Amino acid sequence: MVLGLRFPVGVTVVGLLPALVIIFGPSLVGYPTFGGERGLILGSIYFVTLTIQLYGARYVGRRIESLKEYVESTLAPNLKVDVSRMYELRGPIILFVVLAGTALPAYYILYDIPVAVKLIQLPCWVFFSFVFATFFSAYGHSMHKIYEIGKLHLQLKPFTEDRTLGLKPFGRTSLQLSLLYFFLVSSSFIPFSISYNQPPLVGLVLAFVFLSLGTLLFFAPLLGLRRHLLRAKTENMDWIAHRYTALVTQLKSEHPSSSEEILLTNKLASIDKLQKDIGQIRTWPFDTQILERLVAIIVTVVAIMVAHYIQVALP
């Protein structure tokens, strides 16, 4: 529920009203050039981005709740995973204060916008900053919770069932949340570049900083789970190597009959297959397809931002 309305309706209302102010507000205070087509572009992106942030915050909560149930039912039946801190207001408020003290003043200083336009749009950007802070607080807590789960004593699945030992849902969730992060970061910087003639270089630099941080936040929460995979792979390799060495020694030291030799050879072939299977255990809780998607998204976002900056900056 949002403002006492069903979630989709409430999100539409709280996103549409500020967007209308951004579109028509400049004309009301005597600066129609900052409204019109420019305002329509900025207001539309504002509405879409704000809507996705609100849906994104709810989606993050649902994904972490789903992981919590998966861990408690499959990987650690005797443990309880606490995710209650994700719903506290302290995180969003702290991030909002930081944004209100840094990003908003920077926007008003860097862009040559009439004071009247800035004032009429100020409540919209304050509200946008709080929603932005709410999403990123939920996102940051979820990534931290994935990292904490990685430090638990987990009952991993056998490598014969799953090459990620049952940890792939964490890699998939981390990618899905990172997709939201990259989209929201890019859509928070691109509108200003589109709407105003000269995008400051500092905006582009900040965008790259946030995109680099997003890449780090994709991998960092998975480090604990990676340790589980590496440990399991090493232990299984040591176990099968011991069996393989014992069979080779037996084959060399004895003079088995032809039937015994065939039996030993078959055992060696089985062990060789097991070694190959163990070698395919992932060292990260995701497959190459997930990594390829992440790289493709980062490259696409960076290319769009750089191309637009060059297009606007060149005479």
The Cα–Cα gap between 142 and 139 comes to: 5
Count, residues in the chain: 315
pLDDT in tens, 103-119: 778 777 766 777 887 78
5-11, long-range: CB < 8 A, 24+ apart: 7/58, 11/51, 11/54, 11/55
* Range of lowest pLDDT (38-47, 78-87, 217-226, 238-247): 38-47
Predicted local distance difference test score (pLDDT) of residue 56: 85
The tokens of 112 are what? 């040559």
pTM of the full predicted structure? 0.78
Q: Could you tell me which residue, 27 or 191, shows the higher pLDDT?
A: 27
What are the pLDDT digits (tens) for 5-15? 576 777 777 77
The Cβ-side half-sphere exposure at 92, using a 13 Å CA radius, reads: 19
**Tokens in use for 64?**
């972490």
Phi, psi (5° rounding) for residue 2?
-130, 120
| Mean pLDDT score across all residues of the chain | 80
**What mean pLDDT comes out for the span 141-165?**
88
Q: Spell out the domain ranges in the chain.
A: 7-238+275-313
Dump pLDDT digits (tens) for 170-199: 988 888 888 888 877 777 666 555 555 545
Cα-based angle 59, 63, 65 (whole degrees, multiple of 5): 115
Q: Which helix (H) or strand (E) holds 220?
A: none
Q: Which two tokens stand for residue 198?
A: 């000269």
